[in-house]
Structure 1
Amino acid sequence: MAATAEQGRKGQARRNDTVILEAAREVFLDDPKAPIAAVADRAGVGISALYRRYAGKEDLLRTLCHDGLKRFSQEADDAGRAHEDGWAALRAFLEGVVDADVHSLTVHLAGTFTPTEEMRADAVAANGLVEALVERAHGSGRLRRDFTAADVGLVLEACAAIRLPDRDRTAQLRRRYLGLTLDGMDRTDTGALPGPAPVPGEFNYRWRTSR
């Protein structure tokens, strides 16, 4: 009986954590400056339950974005394994990340917390996965040669910037404009892109906190 009760408490704790993170995502995407109490209210838990899991708002933001980074890497890994064709793998990855809405966190929460060394290491690994997908897509002959791995982040951020009150409509429009972008990435368009590609690390400044 004691073991069953302990399992029940752990299960409830996991459910509470999921609810808190989902609430935090909604709250902070609407307003990155919202107080942590707004997350507790949205989650329907007491503030003490939230503080038992997170030391404060920054810790919660860090966890939220780290989870997003892990999802990003998982989408890249899954797409790479699922598709032998490099163009199909890159396309599936971009669609998966857009559908998961991972980059809304980047757009809204960059610079609101200090990343950990683990997060930095995971970001380097994620970049490696993207570089591999882009290299494979180039090898397929479909991806235009002047498209680089550094372009991927901005493509995803552009899709994430589309945000309407209606979630279904938001998803439709994000897929629509990703489709237009993918058409432009295809080598059937032989015109040169205007301006140079982003430089790796060019946007890292956004993750520095103001403190």
Structure 2
Amino acid sequence: MQPERLYLNSLGKLTAAKSTFTVGENFILEAPTFGLCSNTVETVTIGVAALLPLPCLQNNNMSNVPAAVFNSETMPSDYYLNGPMQADLWVSSSSKDMGLVVRLADVDPKTGNAKNLSTGILTASLRKVDEKRSRYVNGVMIQPWQTFKYSDMQPLEKNKPVLMQIEILPTAAVIPKGHHLQVSVVASDIWKGVAPITTSLSSSLNGSISIYSNSQYPSSIVLPKVPNQYLSQ
């Protein structure tokens, strides 16, 4: 497995090249109750919710309505992922704290269906990373270790960019040739986790979050790419 970094583009693209523009950002609303109908509920209910005939449990499109969505180009060949993942997002908020949820999905262009592969979640004030405990592959951090200590809390300064290194749970999946890889970023997923009380009190229900994607603040995602030759072994 080798780490492969893809950059978020303000035009909603995932690209191998970092943006050369000095400006570029996407905006999302801050709210604690997004994701009421998302595939995360299947995990919480130990699969029982999968028996319900709700399209939103099998497709990210509805839960992506309040999200910033980024799609790769069509895959020229099967794309094999196996391992942990990390989103390195440069963000700011109009509030003193916020939550972020990052979803990774496989998009079938024929149907438009976005099948969720994995999800990560983090509260901004708890973003402190212990680099010695984090996991690296070829010198690239691919699994951050947040300390989650009260003494390490880092409140946000209004509209000041900070780096959030968000662990996306490990997965093994193949994005078939002709499909797209999709990353979506939203403020919350109520089934995945509820923000701490301190975050809820310091966050604004009508606040806004900026996700930066420019030369100074290049948001990206690190993926665990494995050569296709290992699929048959």
Which entry has the higher C-alpha Rg, 1 or 2?
1
Q: Same fold (TM over 0.5)?
A: no
What is the TM-score normalised by the length of structure 1? Answer: 0.29
Which has the larger share of helix?
Answer: 1
